[in-house]
Amino acid sequence: MNARQAASIGQVHYAVSQGEKRPLAVKVQYPGVADSIRSDIRLVKPIALRVMGLDEAQVRPYLEEVETRLLEETDYKLELRRGTEIAASCAHLPHLEFARYYPELSSARILTMDWLQGEHLKEFLTTNPDQETRNQLGQALWDFYMYQLNTLLRVHADPHPGNFLLRAENGGTVGVLDFGCVKEIPADVHRLFNALLAPETLADEARLAALLDETGILRSTDTAERRALYVRTLHASLELVGRPFREATFDFGDPAYMASLYALGDDLMQEPELRQQREPRGSEHFIYLNRTYVGLYALLTELGAHIRTK
């Protein structure tokens, strides 16, 4: 059994099954990881609260959300179940590949699955894939995440390049790895997420404000000036970030779009009241939803994919 790569909480090894000589990936967790995470959070939390001037009662839901997701990543039995369920649910989607898990060779800290073939994004791009292949890979990723979001109400919430293996065969195939971080989406959060991205919301300031009230971004104690600032800021952000959701096709390789995203971030940082903001706002469930789609956009942008979004 040979080591393939180290991860933050374990190491992945290459193995071969004795009977069928099937290539396997065996993920072995470092000892004491869960206890270490709990200990680190206990140590860091009071320091962060004091340094950033945050109120513990206000930030508790957000800290609990992050802690829950981190600890779930140490539960390989949970990862096996979720990976098996999501793979089965998404088996009909084209150009995706999922590893089969082996419960009899797995435990709470050892996870055994098929060894998938392919290259990570950086290595794959050095092969200079043509635009058609890039588009197909991007389409597979987009379809995978939209199906999870809108049908399964749960998403693979760690879409960094190390969790996908790309192959050019059959026009482009994406192998999906690591279901340690999966975000279950409550139905009301799914409704709000989609409503905020809808064209009719951007066309109706009162509707947008009502949704921001419902998410907790706006509060009854806000001054009229602060409400106007948040509505204006979120309108600009949602128009730009949500654009791929509202257009029939979208070119993530368009440099003008990424330049607009960077410019928006710079503009927001120039707003004095936003820079001074110390209280968290909005649903804690949006932490991992936002993280997921930032990661997805980054992947599609690096691929330079032009895809169908509807």
Per-residue model confidence (pLDDT) at position 3: 47
Q: Is residue 124 part of a domain?
A: yes
CA distance 194 to 282: 15
Q: What is the CATH number of the domain that holds 117?
A: 1.10.510.10
**Full DSSP string of 223-279:** -HHHHHHHHHHHHHHHHHHTHHHHSSEEETT-HHHHHHHHHHHHHHHT-HHHHH--S
Per-residue model confidence (pLDDT) at position 7: 57
Residues 262 and 160 in one domain: no
Query: 72, 103, 133: which is the final residue of a domain?
Result: 72
Per-residue model confidence (pLDDT) at position 277: 72
Residue type, 113: M
Structure tokens at 76: 């390989």
How many domains would you assign to the chain?
3
Q: Is residue 99 part of a domain?
A: yes
CA distance 161 to 205: 37
- pLDDT tens digits, the chain, 310 residues: what are they? 444 554 568 899 999 988 788 999 999 999 888 888 888 878 877 877 776 667 777 788 888 898 899 999 999 999 999 999 999 999 999 999 999 999 999 998 999 999 999 999 999 999 999 999 999 999 999 999 999 999 999 999 999 999 999 999 999 999 999 999 999 999 999 999 999 999 999 999 999 999 999 999 999 999 999 999 999 999 999 999 999 999 999 999 999 998 898 898 888 878 877 777 767 889 999 999 999 999 999 999 999 999 999 8
Helix axis angle for 224-241 and 187-197, nearest 10°, is: 80
Residues 103 and 149 in one domain: yes
Residues 89 and 175 in one domain: yes
Q: Is residue 298 part of a domain?
A: no
Q: Is residue 300 part of a domain?
A: no
Per-residue model confidence (pLDDT) at position 26: 95
Residues 191 and 275 in one domain: yes
Query: 184, 206, 239: which is the final residue of a domain?
Result: 184
Query: 184, 204, 219: which is the final residue of a domain?
Result: 184
Q: Is residue 192 part of a domain?
A: yes
**Contact call for residues 181 and 73 (beta carbons, < 8 A):** yes
Residues 45 and 117 in one domain: no
Per-residue model confidence (pLDDT) at position 223: 92
Residues 105 and 147 in one domain: yes
Q: Is residue 135 part of a domain?
A: yes
Give residue 131's domain range: 2-30+75-184
Phi first, then psi: what are they for 64, rounded to 5°?
A: -65, -35
Q: Is residue 296 part of a domain?
A: no
Residues 10 and 136 in one domain: yes
Q: Is residue 196 part of a domain?
A: yes
Residues 105 and 216 in one domain: no
Residues 15 and 138 in one domain: yes
